[in-house]
Structure formats: C-alpha cells, structure tokens
Amino acid sequence: MTLVCFQLFLQLVLVGSFKMVNKIKLIIQFLMFSILIQSCSFEDDTIKYEEQLVVFASIDAGFPVFDTVFVSRTAEVSEDVDSEELYIENANVRLINTSDGSELKFYSIGNGRYYPIDMSMQNLDSISRYWLDYIISSGTTYRLVVTHEQDSVIAQTNVPEKIEITPAEMSDFKCPDDSNEPVNIIDVNNLSDLTFEQMLSLYQDPVGYIETNNINVDSVEFKIGDCYTKSFASAPMFGVDYNQDDYNTIQIISNALEADAVGLEPFNDENQNSLFDEGEKFSDRNRNGLRDSCYVNLIYSEEKGLFDNDSLDYNRLANIWKNPLKRGAIDGTWRENSPYRNNPWLWNVDTAPSPIMWLYFDYYGYYMMTYKSTSDSYFNYFQGDPVGQNIYLLPNSNFEGGLGVFYSSSSASFIVKVIAPKQ
C-alpha cells in the first residue's frame, strides 16, 4: 500500500509540475493526494519469532534409505549460539509407507543425524531384515514424522517414476576457431538391468565387476584446449536425453569409481622409456620437491604441470570449479578421502538433451553417471533461489509446523570411462 501511495504521489507531482500551469488545479491535486495518503498505512507488522524444528531428508527409489535425516532447531538472530548447539539428538524419527503402513525407525548417530541402523546392532541378519528389506518404491507416497518434546513436524513426498535416459544425437560443436567438433554417442543403458545386490557388488570392486561381467563401457577422451575446457560452453564429450516433460528438475551426479587409487606423481617422460630418469620434470603436487605418493588419475593439477604448453591456463581455470587437491601418504596409502569421490558440483538441469562436458569430471578412469528425477518438493524448495544466495529468502518448506525439506528421487545410472588426452 505504501508503494502504491508513493507512485500516485509521483504521478500527481509530475502532472502538476510539467503539464499544469493553473495553480488551482495543482492545489486540488494536492488535496486529493492528502486524502489518499490518509488511507495508506505506513506501519509494518512485526513478526514474532517462534522456535521451530528444521529437518532435511531424502529417499531414492529402488534403494534402501542411504541418506541420513538431519534434525536441528532454529535460532533467533540475536541468539549467541554455535551451530553445533542447535543439533537435536533425542528426536523420534519415523518413515511411513502410506500404501501399506510399514514403518522404518531411525536412530541417532550424532551431530543431529539419524540413520535406520542402530549402532548397537551386531547381527548382520537383523540389520538386513530391518534396513535392506525396506526398499523405496517408485510411485509411492512416504510420510516422514519427526517428534521432539512438544514439537512434531510432518512432511510427505511422492516418489517419482523411474527416469528414462537414452543416448543423445547432438550436432557438431562449433569451436572458437570456427572448426567443428563431433559429439560422441555412447551407451548410457549399460546398468539398466542390474539389481540392487549387483549394484552393491559393482561398488565394492568396480573394475573387477565390469571385466568379469562384460559390462559394455564406452570411453571418451578428455581433450584440453580452448574448444574443450574454456568455459561452461565447451564442446560436449557426449549427450544424454531423458523424458524432461515428466519432471521439473533433474539432478546429475558424476561419481569417480577409481578415486581411491594412489600412486606416484606423474612426470613428463621425455625419452619415452616409461621410466622416471634424472633430469625429467614431474608434477610436484604436494610441493615437497619429491616425486612421492598422490592421485595418479587427476585430470587437473594445482600447478601448471603437464599443461604448460596448452594455449589455455587450464589449471587456474580448473581450480575455480574444483576442490583443492588432497594428498596421498608417502607409503602409498590413502587416509583423508573415501573412495568413490563425487564431483564437487551437484548439477541441476531442466532441459534435454543435457551436454556432458569437462566440468563433470575430476579423474581419469571409470565414472558412474547418475540422473535423478526429483519430486516436486525439491523443486519447490529451491524455486526462485536455486543456489541459496539470498539469505533473506525463506525456502518453501513442505514440513507442516517446521522448516526444511523432505524429497524423493528416482534414478538411472550408467558407466563411462574418461581417458587422458592423446599426447
């Protein structure tokens, strides 16, 4: 109302200043404005703060519950409190299948997180019956109920139907030098028939499982240069099509299946004898002057390293988008990072086909690419502020009586192998 009154005032002033020369008319207009201004309220309503529960949770069709449920409370702006003090450890958390009434209870594992396995469970059979047998179903509605003391919040999500992915035939990409680069067509359905148990076996030994079971995996070359690694608008390695009309948002996750491999830092084999000879340069990624243990399948480096002669300062650009490198130990072990590293970016797309370019990958080797169709609750939560940059915008929670989001997804995955650029 205040804005409307101000706009009317400006209009009256402009009309009176530039079109009206008759002072009487100007006085009449001023009197009209006075009447209008009296009808406008300049008092803002004060919102009283009320403490609420905050819950984040997600489930994925075809799998047990892998993600933890995070439970905390809100804090007033003036409240002097560390974030750890907001965690809630003694909440009652239940997941309910509304179609058959079956329930899955969650247990506190610390730091405000809850998981469907009680850490006191020692019997693997009981864990399997309780957790692994509770598989999330597509097209089913699930209700999450979280209770703490006198507070109780409830949210529901309808699990999306399975997403269908297919290879995309994309036109040639026009490079900055006006040359054309053809886009690969690869097999994106090489895991479509695997059961959950087979997927577990794949994760335990990716290379062995692929070779033993003759999984067809196509390779794509990670090319370096202005056409391939300059920006978001670089030449795609390949494209993936999907049924975009059925979903608001698709998540794309790239997961390096060999990210736990550790070896010696790469070197420039000048005499091409496959041996590190005296005088040959190596990429000193941990800056200690020694050619020692580190990831050997990293695509990029903190140094210029192997990319000195490239026309693009590739490593500087890569570090804008990628996390800092983690180091292996001198004895060749890896202690700081878990295997199967996710790309730092969780990509959200809404149009198909989706071009897959260099930013999706961190390492050479086998990757599992996962396309997730997300529920409406996910889309609604991030709508209007997808990257969370506006601290004054409260996301659209689907919890009754609380904040946060409970969403679901259905996924389809495939494996592709990223190989080093040809020298």
* Per-residue pLDDT reduced to its tens digit, 230-275: 788 899 999 999 998 888 778 899 988 876 666 667 777 888 888 8
322 has a pLDDT exceeding 60: yes
Is residue 157 within 8 Å of residue 408, measured between CB atoms?
yes
For the segment 300-307, the average pLDDT, to the nearest whole number, is: 50
Is residue 68 within 8 Å of residue 119, measured between CB atoms?
no
The region that residue 111 occupies, defined by phi over 0 for left and psi between -120 and 50 for alpha, beta otherwise, is: left
For the segment 364-385, the average pLDDT, to the nearest whole number, is: 87
Distances (CA, A) of 389 to 231, 346, 382, 386, 392: 22, 16, 11, 8, 9
Better pLDDT: 267 or 112: 112
> How many angstroms separate the CA atoms of 129 and 117, rounded?
11
| Percent of the chain clearing pLDDT 70 (strictly above) | 69
Q: Which two tokens stand for residue 224?
A: 């370096």
What is the per-residue pLDDT for 420? 82
Sequence-separated (6 or more) residues with CB below 8 Å from residue 17: none
Does pTM top 0.75 for this prediction? no
Residues in the chain: 423
Q: What is the mean pLDDT of the chain?
A: 79
- The model's confidence at residue 19, banded by pLDDT at 50, 70 and 90, is very low
- The values of phi and psi at residue 128, to 5°, are -60, -45
Per-residue model confidence as pLDDT tens digits over 72-104: 999 888 888 888 889 999 999 999 999 999 999
> How many angstroms separate the CA atoms of 44 and 167, rounded?
55
23 has a pLDDT exceeding 60: no
For the segment 100-112, the average pLDDT, to the nearest whole number, is: 92
What is the per-residue pLDDT for 108? 93
- The values of phi and psi at residue 348, to 5°, are -115, 125
In the numeric block, the tokens 């300049």 are attached to 42
- Torsional sign, CA 226, 229, 232, 238: positive
Q: Which two tokens stand for residue 313?
A: 């300062």
In the numeric block, the tokens 């797309």 are attached to 349
Instruction: Look at residues 67, 127, 75 and name the one whose alpha carbon lies nearest to residue 93.
Output: 67
For the segment 56-83, the average pLDDT, to the nearest whole number, is: 90
> How many angstroms separate the CA atoms of 361 and 367, rounded?
8
What is the per-residue pLDDT for 61? 92
140 has a pLDDT exceeding 60: yes
Crossing angle for the helix pair 23-39 and 2-18, to the nearest 10 degrees = 180
What is the per-residue pLDDT for 261? 65
> How many angstroms separate the CA atoms of 26 and 359, rounded?
63
Instruction: Look at residues 315, 322, 327, 370 and name the one whose alpha carbon lies nearest to residue 344.
Output: 322
Better pLDDT: 230 or 45: 230
> How many angstroms separate the CA atoms of 18 and 12, rounded?
10
What angle is formed at CA 222 by the lines to CA 220 and CA 227, rounded to 5 degrees?
115
224 has a pLDDT exceeding 70: yes
